[in-house]
């Protein structure tokens, strides 16, 4: 099957799965500035004839050219965005909207393929080596297009999505929009994604997360970030990282908008052998054909949340961080939840040792989430999908890519020998996946025994440091979530005296619990209402 035919089938299948919406959105209300409300509020305003998608997309592009450029959040803008918005306006007039994201401006991270644009990976060297426009959308971008979303362009990130600071050799250091000194990091690697949604340039943005790359900028930039269940969102058409850790999901100003994006993205695809259907059906049920959502401010009522204290090192946290955390837990209780201490059997402290011990007990090879063979094969497949010679392309980009993914062989013949070994059969990766199953089973048993609906803890126990400084020596639970493959929704919890985001509360569940976590996170958000736009972003 040719690449072009495969992509056409992906797009048509995604579109066929979407209902033709009867657009009512009856219980949504328009925000003062449509770009600072939720996607459902935006749709309600369109239905009332207050504005068109084309008008709002033009306004968003103006904001991108202004604050977005100043904050170095933009990798590229889509020259067809206004035309795509106008096409959605025509569908609205014909009452054939495709879903809650039809006509809604969204962004993709710089490592995503977007047809008609080069994929820079936020790397100056990669942009030089691969300046051509790609001809296929990443599968997530294709699903968003099929749902009618307006792809605004691509956001800046750390080179190859490797670090957590928002430092791009291609576009420069992404700035934190809340920091007047321009010194604080916005977090990364999905830095520009978080900044564009915080700054009202889009409602949501595609990010990736191997060890916190969505959740770090969510906290440091004061927005919602989600790391879905591992495999729930297929990853085809994105410059790869670690196939057994990499998880793709949304950044957004609101839980509602994160849920809208997840509704569109979920479900397995044969092109990503590690994708799976777990939780997809419940996610799709979050929105009905008339535009209503099952998200409710009462979703926390009667829930029991397990607070994992080892993921909140109080002795190392500042007074401000503790204040915001304690207030967040109080907000959960006010919303109707019980919050109790929970001694999880698998935590950030022991997860690596348990994985290794389980592999030894099975007589398996040592588990390795960073297996070089898996990443090499994923990169080979990425280029093969583009319709170019994958071996020659990998060889051309080898030195630039390996400068970050340094477990890869330096010697080209050794690297070439790994390219065609399927990552889903990589022994170290398979061993890692088996240990993950055992660890999740331990956690599930303990949660069910104590009737815990979700875990809660601070996304990170400290606020944004200066971009040029080392992070404080305080351990976070970020990598734990990726090793376990657990869904996690990170929601803003407050600001310090200078107006800088200081903490997010994470709702964490078992694989497949994504829809339930979004519901609980929404109830917390409605109780706390912590998000505030950055200075300089005023309602129009």
C-beta atoms surrounding 290 within 10 Å = 12
Angle made by CA atoms 521, 262, 483, in degrees to the nearest 5: 75
Dig out the tokens for 49 from the structure.
Answer: 């004839």
ω before 62 within 30° of 0 (cis)?
no
Distance, CA of 209 to CA of 188 (rounded, Å): 9
Q: Where are the beta strands (DSSP E) in 32-104?
A: 74-77
Q: Quick one: how far is CA 250 from the chain centroid?
A: 4
Is 213 an active-site residue?
A: yes
| 65 Cβ neighbours under 8 A, 6+ residues apart | 77
Closest among 412, 426, 464 to 179, alpha carbons compared: 464
Sign of CA dihedral 200, 207, 452, 231: positive
Dig out the tokens for 3 from the structure.
Answer: 């690449």
Distance, CA of 169 to CA of 126 (rounded, Å): 10
Residue with tokens 């950030």: 348
Q: Which of 109, 154, 184, 227 is catalytic?
A: 109
Q: Which of 30, 168, 169, 189 is catalytic?
A: 189
Q: In what order do the strands lie in the sheet with 204-209?
A: 74-77, 150-155, 105-109, 204-209, 247-252, 224-227, 488-495, 501-508, 454-458, 304-307, 338-341
Closest among 68, 118, 61 to 85, alpha carbons compared: 61
Q: Which of 110, 190, 213, 490 is catalytic?
A: 213
**Under a CB-based contact definition with an 8 Å cutoff, are residues 479 and 212 in contact?**
yes
Distance, CA of 10 to CA of 13 (rounded, Å): 5
Question: Catalytic site residues?
Answer: 109, 189, 213
């Amino acid at each position: 099957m040719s690449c072009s035919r495969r992509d056409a089938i992906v797009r048509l299948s995604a579109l066929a799965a979407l209902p033709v919406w009867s657009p009512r959105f009856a219980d949504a209300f328009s925000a003062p500035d449509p770009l600072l409300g939720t996607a459902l509020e935006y749709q309600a305003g369109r239905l009332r004839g207050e504005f068109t998608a084309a008008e709002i997309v033009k306004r968003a592009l103006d904001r991108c050219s202004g604050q977005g450029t100043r904050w170095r959040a933009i990798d590229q803008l889509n020259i067809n965005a206004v035309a795509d918005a106008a096409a959605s306006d025509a569908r609205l007039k014909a009452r054939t909207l495709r879903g809650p994201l039809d006509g809604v401006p969204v962004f993709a991270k710089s490592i995503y393929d977007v047809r008609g644009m080069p994929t820079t990976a936020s790397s100056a060297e990669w942009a030089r080596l691969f300046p051509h426009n790609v001809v296929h959308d990443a599968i997530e971008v294709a699903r968003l297009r099929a749902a009618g979303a307006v792809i605004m362009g691509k956001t800046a990130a750390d080179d190859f999505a490797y670090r957590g600071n928002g430092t791009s050799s291609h576009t420069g250091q992404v700035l934190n929009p809340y920091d007047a000194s321009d010194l604080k990091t916005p977090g990364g690697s999905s830095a520009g994604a978080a900044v564009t949604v915080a700054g009202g340039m889009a409602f949501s943005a595609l990010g990736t997360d191997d060890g916190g790359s969505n959740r770090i900028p969510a906290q440091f930039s004061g927005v919602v970030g989600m790391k879905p269940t591992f495999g729930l969102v297929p990853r085809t058409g994105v410059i790869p990282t670690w196939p057994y850790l990499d998880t793709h999901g949304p950044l957004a100003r609101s839980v509602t908008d994160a849920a809208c994006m997840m509704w569109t993205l979920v479900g397995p695809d044969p092109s990503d052998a590690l994708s799976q259907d777990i939780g997809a059906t419940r996610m799709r049920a979050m929105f009905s054909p008339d535009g209503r959502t099952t998200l409710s401010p009462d979703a926390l009522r009667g829930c029991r949340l397990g607070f994992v204290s080892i993921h909140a090192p109080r002795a190392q946290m500042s007074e401000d961080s503790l204040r915001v955390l304690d207030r967040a837990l109080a907000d959960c209780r006010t919303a109707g939840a019980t919050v109790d201490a929970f001694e999880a059997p698998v935590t950030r402290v022991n997860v690596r040792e348990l994985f290794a011990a389980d592999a030894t007990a099975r007589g398996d090879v040592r588990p390795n989430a960073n297996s070089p063979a898996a990443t090499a094969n994923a990169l080979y497949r990425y280029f093969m999908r583009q319709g170019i010679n994958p071996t020659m392309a990998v060889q051309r980009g080898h030195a630039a890519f390996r400068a970050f993914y340094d477990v890869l062989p330096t010697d080209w013949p050794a690297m070439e020998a790994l390219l065609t070994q399927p990552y889903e059969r990589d022994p170290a990766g398979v061993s890692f996946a088996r240990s993950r199953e055992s660890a999740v089973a331990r956690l599930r048993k303990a949660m069910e025994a104590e009737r815990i609906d979700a875990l809660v803890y601070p996304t990170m126990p400290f606020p944004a440091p200066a971009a040029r400084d080392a992070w404080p020596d305080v351990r976070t639970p970020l990598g734990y979530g990726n090793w376990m493959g657990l869904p996690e929704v990170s929601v803003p919890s407050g600001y310090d005296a200078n107006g800088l985001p200081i903490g997010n509360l994470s709702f964490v569940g078992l694989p497949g619990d994504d829809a339930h976590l979004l519901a609980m996170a929404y109830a917390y958000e409605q109780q706390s209402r912590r998000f505030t736009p950055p200075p300089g972003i005023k309602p129009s």
